[in-house]
Structure 1
Amino acid sequence: MVFSGSSAALSHTGKVRANNQDSGYSGANLFVVADGMGGHAGGDVASSIAIARLEGLDRVYATTGEAEKALEDAIHAAATDLINTVKTKPELAGLGTTVCAIIMVDDYAVIAHIGDSRIYLYRDDALTQITTDHTFVQRLVDSGRITPEEARYHPRRSVLMRVLSDMEADPEVDTFVMPTRPGDRWLLCSDGLSGVVDDTHTAKTMALGMAPGRTADILLKQALDAGAPDNVTIVIVDVGGQHPLVSGTPTVVGAASNPQGVEVPAARTGRISWFHPARQAANEPTHFEPAAEYLEELIEEDRRRARRRRIGWIAGLVLVLALIAGALFGAYQWTQTRYFIGADEQTATVVIFRGIPQNVGPFSLSTPYEDTGLPLAVLPEFERETVQQKIPVDSLDDAHTIVDQLRQNIGSE
């Protein structure tokens, strides 16, 4: 059965990259996003090769099993194409691409996925991520080492553990089949969108019910407003719905839309480390595929980073507590340079206190310094009440002067 619905595809270089290494495809039954990597032209070539190999699958299938097998075989063939390309153009060594693809067969979506490009399903006012990223940080999330929110800002969030590349002729590809129904909205996107626009805002945009092309435009604007540090590629597929397919002509976007325009650079010089890839320009890739033996080293690196983070938090907390303690001690020392005159309720006499007449919780900021022996009872009523309410003074000498005046007032009566 030919797919009944509407779709749209767009791709944008973003605000940082100098060229677009993404590719996208929207056809009659097939929908694909490929996010290329591997230097100035390597990513362009890789994603274009993937689209060129997959677009031949845009036809009607008798069963979902037939479509699933076709997808897996085509992706493996694309891996072989990448390997052969590097044999003829060794300057492209290290190129690779993610692939996420859907073939619609009757009431089912046949899905294939490798890398960190994503497929989402918007259904019943809820957005669900259908694919699982093949990334280092996703393994950390799956093992409970970090939270999904921490994964969004992890320094290794772009390290791919699985990708279509020139290093593996038989890559492990996730394939599965899901039922779909009228009203479903499918979103395929590169991490240029999912990495900067969170699911909440994506869901709100999908909920507007606008045509796929308009919806894709709004999502792209959100990515650009957030800085768009990477290429952004979006394919939206509506199943049935109120937006009929305008044209059955396939839409190819990104690097694959002009494969003849991809310029192959001169051979790279110097040694490139997996852990410190050379960055000659802003458009250099931010993600790469490490060999399997590096996984434990990456996990240990993350443990060291977590330990350093904990030590930093503890050291910062200790420093803050020390500063607070120092400030409190300094404030207390200052209070001990002050004096005031008050009454001792037990002896009923006038007393000179050191400190200030306040308390901090159960702690008093003053102590009796000198009992003058002057009975409160002999003082006139006004002066007695004044002493009981406490008389602040500037110095100990001032305190003695005021006490002498109180004594004189008694003698003058």
Structure 2
Amino acid sequence: MNRVVSIYPPVGFTRQGRRDNNEDYIVPTPGRATPADRLFVVCDGVGGAQRGELASLLAGETILAYARTHSTSAVDSTFVRAALLTVEEAFDRAIADETDAHLSGMSTTMTLLSLHDRGVTIAHIGDSRVYHIRDGRILHQTDDHSLVNELVRAGQISPDEVATHPRRNVITRAIQGSANPTQATVYVTQDVVPDDYFFLCTDGVLESISNDDLTQTLLSHTLSDRQKVEAILDSCADNSRDNYSGYLIRIAAVEPIDQPLLPDDDVVPLVLPQVQAPVMPPEPVHGPVMWQEPVVEPVVSPTEAEPESFQFTMDDEEEARWREQENRNWIKRLFS
């Protein structure tokens, strides 16, 4: 069993897509990721008029702040639970302090990847997803907290029915605040080798590219990591009606460890992919929901690093910049 020693430059992206604004948020923020980073978070805000983009930004930045102030803590289930409680408290403060902003309905999904001395920790809430891929094979993917996933497990619908189900965008878990507490699913693995990929993404990516296409893209020996993400973005631009965001992390080097896995965490086995809907053209979503999107992961050698850190950023629109700055002003007030 191994721990991660180094990674190639991570490739992050967040795009507005066909939405009026971008409610996704990624950590590190675009343009700032380096091979020294060991914590990655991807969030998909829900709420529309209730400022889903603030929910995702608040969750991502609060988790990052918690990790910085608890840098010596083991990143295990206890760490994730405590970080989540801190996020919910931040939501409570925002809702209470900004009564005119109608924030009580905001919520967000969350995926987290932490590379640490005892292995790799994956945590998630909602239907944003994390993949662990090796040699074009999915070793593990997070199991969506969604209504259709529950129906598949109950045998009420087949996996083939997921893509066309009228409530396929309903999620069963989201971060909302302490009035509606939630719980993350946490996994830890020490099964990691050089050239493994970890891919975190929002559901705007998932509606655009199938597991097979994703693994084939990452398997390519003729594309750099940047070009692989560009291929994913091309598919999203053609097929997604949503915002789409993610992080691609490739392992450069590992070293053996003999430390046991962290207590009380689930060991990730080698498993077949969970529910995977075929990619379908965008369709409007009807009917009531619990949480729902509005209107609604030359040949590069194992030791060859990307020449520089590369980030894709959202469309440079004036309104998007204004909204993000306003959200950051709220963040400053909440943490002051």
1:198-277 maps to which residues of 2 (within 5 A)?
198-209=210-221, 210-226=223-239, 228-240=240-252, 241-244=302-305, 259-262=324-327
From 50, 66, 74, the counterpart of 2:59? 50
Distance 1:66 1:125, change over 3 A: closer
Counterpart of 2:22 in structure 1 is 20
Task: For 2:117 and 2:147, locate their aligned partners in 1 and report how far apart those are by CA, in whole Å.
Answer: 35
Counterpart of 1:78 in structure 2 is 87
Deviates more, 1:127-136 or 1:254-263: 254-263
Q: Which has the larger radius of gyration?
A: 1
Asked if 1:152 corresponds to 2:184, the answer is no
Letter of the 1:193 partner, please give it.
V
Counterpart of 2:43 in structure 1 is 34
Task: For 1:257 and 1:58, locate their aligned partners in 2 and report how far apart those are by CA, in whole Å.
Answer: 27
Q: CA deviation at 1:83?
A: 2.0
Counterpart of 2:258 in structure 1 is none
Letter of the 1:33 partner, please give it.
V
Structure 1 unaligned runs (5+)? 265-413
Asked if 1:110 corresponds to 2:121, the answer is yes
Counterpart of 2:290 in structure 1 is none
Task: For 1:39 and 1:193, locate their aligned partners in 2 and report how far apart those are by CA, in whole Å.
Answer: 19
Q: CA deviation at 1:2?
A: 7.6
Q: Does the Cα contact within 8 Å between 2:87 and 2:177 map onto a contact in 1?
A: no
CA deviation digits over 1:185-215, x for unaligned, max 9?
A: 0110000001221111111111114333322
Asked if 1:93 corresponds to 2:101, the answer is no
Task: For 1:217 and 1:184, locate their aligned partners in 2 and report how far apart those are by CA, in whole Å.
Answer: 19
The DSSP-based 3-state class of the residue aligned with 1:161 is coil
Over the aligned positions, Cα root-mean-square deviation in angstroms equals 3.0
Asked if 1:4 corresponds to 2:6, the answer is yes
Distance 1:248 1:233, change over 3 A: closer
Q: CA deviation at 1:152?
A: 2.0
Deviates more, 1:128-137 or 1:183-192: 128-137
Task: For 2:323 and 2:91, locate their aligned partners in 1 and report how far apart those are by CA, in whole Å.
Answer: 18
Task: For 1:5 and 1:207, locate their aligned partners in 2 and report how far apart those are by CA, in whole Å.
Answer: 17
Task: For 1:248 and 1:173, locate their aligned partners in 2 and report how far apart those are by CA, in whole Å.
Answer: 30
Q: Does the Cα contact within 8 Å between 1:36 and 1:47 map onto a contact in 2?
A: yes
The DSSP-based 3-state class of the residue aligned with 1:138 is helix
Task: For 1:131 and 1:257, locate their aligned partners in 2 and report how far apart those are by CA, in whole Å.
Answer: 34
TM-score by length of 1: 0.57
Distance 1:243 1:49, change over 3 A: farther
The DSSP-based 3-state class of the residue aligned with 2:193 is coil
1:266-305 maps to which residues of 2 (within 5 A)?
none
Letter of the 2:97 partner, please give it.
T
Letter of the 2:197 partner, please give it.
R
Which has more helix, going by share of residues?
A: 1
Letter of the 1:55 partner, please give it.
L
Letter of the 1:21 partner, please give it.
E
Asked if 1:188 corresponds to 2:218, the answer is no
The DSSP-based 3-state class of the residue aligned with 1:92 is coil
Q: CA deviation at 1:95?
A: 0.3
The DSSP-based 3-state class of the residue aligned with 1:20 is coil
Task: For 1:252 and 1:201, locate their aligned partners in 2 and report how far apart those are by CA, in whole Å.
Answer: 21
CA deviation digits over 1:127-151, x for unaligned, max 9?
A: 3452111111110011111112211
The DSSP-based 3-state class of the residue aligned with 2:142 is coil
CA deviation digits over 1:266-315, x for unaligned, max 9?
A: xxxxxxxxxxxxxxxxxxxxxxxxxxxxxxxxxxxxxxxxxxxxxxxxxx
Counterpart of 2:144 in structure 1 is 133
Letter of the 1:244 partner, please give it.
A
Q: CA deviation at 1:119?
A: 0.4
Aligned residue pairs, count: 260
Q: Does the Cα contact within 8 Å between 2:81 and 2:183 map onto a contact in 1?
A: no
TM-score by length of 2: 0.69
Distance 1:257 1:237, change over 3 A: farther
Q: CA deviation at 1:74?
A: 1.2
CA deviation digits over 1:222-255, x for unaligned, max 9?
A: 11112x2000001001011445366689x79668
Distance 1:163 1:24, change over 3 A: same
The DSSP-based 3-state class of the residue aligned with 2:44 is strand
1:262-411 maps to which residues of 2 (within 5 A)?
262=327
Q: Does the Cα contact within 8 Å between 2:50 and 2:105 map onto a contact in 1?
A: no
The DSSP-based 3-state class of the residue aligned with 2:212 is helix
Q: CA deviation at 1:125?
A: 2.1
Distance 1:252 1:80, change over 3 A: farther
Counterpart of 1:270 in structure 2 is none
Task: For 1:148 and 1:244, locate their aligned partners in 2 and report how far apart those are by CA, in whole Å.
Answer: 38
CA deviation digits over 1:32-64, x for unaligned, max 9?
A: 11000111461110000011112232699668x
Task: For 2:68 and 2:211, locate their aligned partners in 1 and report how far apart those are by CA, in whole Å.
Answer: 29
The DSSP-based 3-state class of the residue aligned with 1:165 is coil
Task: For 2:193 and 2:4, locate their aligned partners in 1 and report how far apart those are by CA, in whole Å.
Answer: 14
Q: Does the Cα contact within 8 Å between 2:75 and 2:114 map onto a contact in 1?
A: no
Task: For 2:233 and 2:152, locate their aligned partners in 1 and report how far apart those are by CA, in whole Å.
Answer: 27
Task: For 2:306 and 2:118, locate their aligned partners in 1 and report how far apart those are by CA, in whole Å.
Answer: 17
